[in-house]
Amino acid sequence: MLRARMSLRLITAGESHGPGLTCVVEGLPAGLELNREAMDRDMARRQLGHGRGGRMKIERDRAEVTAGVRHGHTLGGPVALRIDNRDFANWEERMNPWPVEAAVDEVHLPRPGHADLVGTWKYGFTDVRDVLERASARETAARVAGGALARAFLVALGVQVRSHVVQIGTEHAPQRSGALAIEDFEGVDDDPVRCLDPEASRAMVGHINVQRKANESLGGVFEVVVFGLTPGLGSHVSWEERLDGRLALAICSIQAIKGCALGDGFDLAARPGSGAHDEIFHSVDRGFFRETNRSGGLEGGMTTGEPLVVRGAMKPLPTLTQPLRSVDIATREPAQALRERTDSCTVPAAGVVGEAMVAFVLASAYRAKFGGDGIDDVHRALRSYEERIDWRRRAA
């Protein structure tokens, strides 16, 4: 017997240099108001950051709604979005969905660190391009479009999602003495690497410039912070419902992400218990509260009501302007890996993708907990729950 569960589902389709990308989000309540400018703004934010390559000079990403919305409000059915690839005009013969008359050369030079080689083994391809086009991080444009829908739902519930860069290569932003507030993120997108510390930002930009001239790429770390969450999203009763695991899955599913930390993450492993956990207090004015947030707003697989803090560690991009050693998969002879147009650093953009993925996981958790066919039903269920637990909502 099938068990129906109210939650969100996100599907993306499309290739890096194909005609375009498609995103379908299923499970949003009816009556949710969408803002076209806000969606376009998120799409543009994904293209930001010092270290981006020539592709971002070509694309002007915009998500066009093709289903599920009428006059700016969701209808309760799946919402479909389309993002055109302007660069397809330069790739029409190589990436046409249908056979073409011209001869199209196969690509036989897999890149270390990319899906190229293993993908050809797995699917029985002889052309690396049949793998790399879908494996490309261009796919994240569709995720950000879907994440914009999830963000609109969260905003309607008083939740705000932000991100910033804390490390690029060997350059780190200094540790802050206190917790971040939402006001701290004002103007973060105006910074060339989306860093909150001006001095660290300048060092990061300089580091990118030096490594780019040396034909290197750089990774780093971004942090997503979420304000205004209600306690109790997720669950402790099942491994697949623990929000920690779902967030880690979402972050690590982003191309080139090799690590995820929740709250103080790996730093907690070196601390004694007294310095690792968040003590609990209560007052008439504030209700239950914490004075620290080392757990990053998660305990036992559930939100605590404190700001959610998630970090993603990104490796350097595998496409290098001076390619690494590889092997031609047709001749088995040594060769240099494929050289293709690339970015030298995309950590600032990865933070925006991280926002989208975290927003989607949280929106899905709200749908699972509070249900509701329409947005007003969700509001009523949320209010009733917060009154029951005597939750004093923190300003987002």
pLDDT tens track for 247-278: 999 999 999 999 999 999 999 999 999 999 99
Long-range contacts (CB closer than 8 Å, 24 or more residues apart) made by 322-329? 322/215, 323/109, 323/111, 324/111, 324/112, 325/112, 326/109, 326/110, 326/111, 326/112, 327/110, 328/108, 328/109, 329/108, 329/109, 329/110, 329/117, 329/120, 329/126, 329/128
With beta carbons less than 8 A apart as the criterion, state whether 67 and 80 touch: yes
| Residues in a beta bridge with 26 | 9
Is the per-residue pLDDT at 57 higher than 60?
A: no
pLDDT band at residue 52 under the 50/70/90 scheme: low
- pLDDT at position 116 over 90: yes
Q: What is the pLDDT of residue 261?
A: 98
Task: Grade residue 349 by pLDDT with cuts at 50, 70 and 90.
Answer: very high
130 pLDDT above the threshold of 60:
yes
- Mean pLDDT, the chain, whole residue set: 93
Query: Average pLDDT for residues 77-84, to the nearest whole number?
Result: 97
pLDDT digits (tens, 9 = 90+) for 166-213: 999 999 999 888 889 999 999 999 999 999 999 999 999 999 999 999
In a domain, 277, yes or no: yes
d(CA 197, CA 195): 6
Cβ atoms of 103 and 118 closer than 8 Å: no
**Structural domains of the chain, count:** 1
CATH number at 209 reads 3.60.150.10
- Higher local confidence (pLDDT), 198 or 3: 198
Check residue 286 and give its pLDDT: 87
pLDDT at 93 over 80: yes
Of 169, 133, 204, the C-alpha closest to 317 is 169
* Contact between 175 and 39 (Cβ < 8 Å): no
Residue 311 has pLDDT above 60, yes or no: yes
Mean local confidence (pLDDT), 64-91: 96
Length of the chain: 396
Residue 2 belongs to some domain of the structure: no
Residue 101 lies in a domain: yes
Instruction: Report pLDDT for 4.
Output: 46
The pair of three-digit structure tokens given for residue 85, joined into one six-digit string: 């690839």
Residue 13 has pLDDT above 80, yes or no: yes
Confidence at 1, pLDDT banded by 50, 70, 90: very low
Sign of the Cα torsion 356, 361, 365, 371 reads positive
Q: pTM for this one?
A: 0.94
Between 74 and 47, the more confident residue is: 74
Residue 393 lies in a domain: no
Indicate the residue type of 42.
D
- 96 is in which domain, residue-wise? 9-388
User: How sure is the predictor about 337, in pLDDT bands with cuts at 50, 70 and 90?
Assistant: very high
Q: Indicate whether 396 belongs to any domain.
A: no
| 39 lies in some domain | yes
CA distances from 2 to 5, 70, 352 (A): 9, 31, 36
394 domain-assigned: no
- What gap in Å lies between CA 390 and CA 60, rounded to an integer? 46
